[in-house]
Amino acid sequence: MARSLNRVQLIGNLTRDPELRYTPSGAAVCSFSIATNRNWTTDTGEKKEQVEFHRIVAWNKLAELCSQFLTKGRKVFVEGRLTTRSWTAQDGTQKQTTEIIINDMILLDNRRPSGEESVVEAPAEDEEAPKAKAPAKKAVKEEEPTQEAPADEDEVAPDDIPF
Domain ranges of the chain: 1-39+48-89+97-124
Comparing C-alpha atoms, which of 128, 6, 124, 123 is closest to residue 65? 123
Q: What is the pLDDT of residue 109?
A: 83
Q: Which CATH number applies to 1-39+48-89+97-124?
A: 2.40.50.140
Kindly compute the dihedral angle of the four CA atoms of residues 53, 64, 69, 12, in this order, to the nearest 10 degrees. Answer: -20
Positions of the chain with pLDDT under 70: 111-163
- DSSP code per residue over 95-108: EEEEEEEEEEEEE-
CA distance 12 to 34: 6
Sequence-distant (6+) residues with CB within 8 A of 114 are 140
Taking CA 10 as the corner, what is the angle to CA 23 and CA 117, rounded to the nearest 5 degrees?
Answer: 75
pLDDT given at position 144: 42
Sign (positive or negative) of CA dihedral 97, 21, 60, 130:
positive
Looking at residue 133, its amino acid is K
Predicted structure pTM score: 0.64
Burial readout 30-49 (b: 16 or more C-beta within 10 A, e: otherwise):
bbbbbeeeeeeeeeeeeeee
Vertex 108: Cα angle to 107 and 112 (nearest 5): 65
Mean of the per-residue pLDDT values for the chain? 78
